[in-house]
Amino acid sequence: MEPGAQLTERAASLWLAYRLRWKRRRLLWRSFRKRRQLAAVCDRTADIRPGAILAFSTMRNEAIRLPFFLDHHRKLGVDHFLIVDNDSDDGTREFLAAQPDVSLWRTPHSYRMSRFGVDWLTWLQMRHAHGHWCLTVDADELLIYPFHDTRPLPALTDWLDRQGARSFGALMLDMYPKGRLSAQDYAPGDDPRETLPWFDAGNYMIRKQKKLDNLWIQGGPRARIFFARSPRRAPTMGKVPLVKWSRRYAYVSSAHSALPRRLNHVYDDAGGERACGILLHTKFLHMIAEKSAEEKARQEHFANSALYDSYYDSLASDPDLWCERSTRYRGWRHLEALGLMSRGTWL
C-alpha cells in the first residue's frame, strides 16, 4: 500500500474510533436519562455477591415461558436475574416478583422508543453489572454451549477470563414444530425443545459489518419463508449475549452488537474457530399467532414496523415452517457437527 493510502486509511480509522466513542457515550447518557421510566417492583440486588453471574431481560406477557426459562438458566449457573417487565397483564410480573433470585422493575413506556428495551437494561447494567459476567437474553431464548450439560457457566467464564476474552458469541437458532404452529400444545414448565424440535441447518448468510466489526447472520425459517423475496430484510441471527460487563459498555442493537467494538470480536477471521454457543429461539410456540397480531397492532418491535406487516400477517395465518430439509434437534454435539457452534480450544 502506498504511503499516502496508508495515511488516509489511518485517518479514517481514527475518525471512526472517535465517532464510535462518542456514540457509546450518547447511548450511556440516553440510558441514564431513561432510568426514570423504571419503577422497582422488588429490588433484591443487595443479594448479588462478587463474581455472581447475572442475567438481564426485558419482557412482556411471557408467563407461559418463564418456569422453564428460569429453570434452564439457573441450571447453567445464573445466580441472579434482573428483569424489566413492560406492562404485562398475564401474570408475568406477579410470577417474577415471587422468585427469590429475581430483581424486577416495571415500566409502561414504549419498548421501541427505549431501543427495544436496551436503554432500560443498560441502566441496570451500569448500576449492578460492573465486573460481572452478564447474560442478556429474551424470554424466548435459551443459551446452550459446548459441554453445557456437564460444565456450568462458571467453568466457561473462568476459561474465558484465562483467555483474556470479554465476550462470547452465539447464533440465534429458530426452533419450530412439524405442522401448524397452533397444533403444538405447550404448558408452563415444558421443555420447548420437545415442542419445537426442528431447525434449519444450512441456509445462513454471513457478512462482517465493517463499522462495528460484528457478524451479520441471516437465514433460518424466517428468511426461507417470510422473507424469501428479500432475504436481506430478514432478522439478523448473530448475537453477543455473554459479556464481562463494564459500566462503560453499551449494546448498540439488542445483543447483536456492542461498544466498544472489540466486544464483537467473537469469531476468528484468520481461518480458525473460536468457542461459541447457540441461543435456541423458541418464538414459534402455539400462541405466536395471537402475539403476532398484538405486536402488529402495537408497532413496537421493529424500527420500521410497517415494513414487517406482511411478516406479522404470515405468522397470524398459522403457517407450517417444516420442510423436507428441516433437521431435528439432537443436542449440542449435533449442532457442533453441523458447524453451527464450536468448542474452539475449550476442551
* Per-residue DSSP letter, 110: -
Q: Is the pLDDT of residue 300 over 80?
A: no
For residue 19, the model assigns a pLDDT of: 96
Question: Residue range 270-298: average pLDDT?
Answer: 86
Q: Return the residue matching grid coordinates 428460569.
A: 70
- pLDDT tens digit string along 262-278? 999 999 987 788 999 99
Q: Is the pLDDT of residue 238 over 90?
A: yes
Its pTM stands at 0.94
Q: Is the pLDDT of residue 305 over 60?
A: no
Q: Give residue 309's pLDDT band: very low, low, confident or very high (50, 70, 90).
A: confident
3-class DSSP string for 175-217: CECCCCHHHCCCCCCCCHHHHCCEECCCCCEEEECCCCCCEEE
Least confident of 15-29, 227-241, 321-335: 227-241
For residue 253, the model assigns a pLDDT of: 84
For residue 233, the model assigns a pLDDT of: 87
CA atoms of 318 and 35, how far apart (whole Å): 38
* Per-residue DSSP letter, 276: B
- pLDDT tens digit string along 70-94? 999 999 999 999 999 999 999 999 9
DSSP H or E run through 123: helix 118-128
Cell numbers found for residue 144: 446452550
Beta bridge partners of 253: 257
Cell numbers found for residue 321: 415452517
Phi, psi of 293 (to 5 degrees): -65, -40
User: What's the mean per-residue pLDDT of the chain?
Assistant: 93
Cell numbers found for residue 98: 415471587
Phi, psi of 144 (to 5 degrees): -135, 160
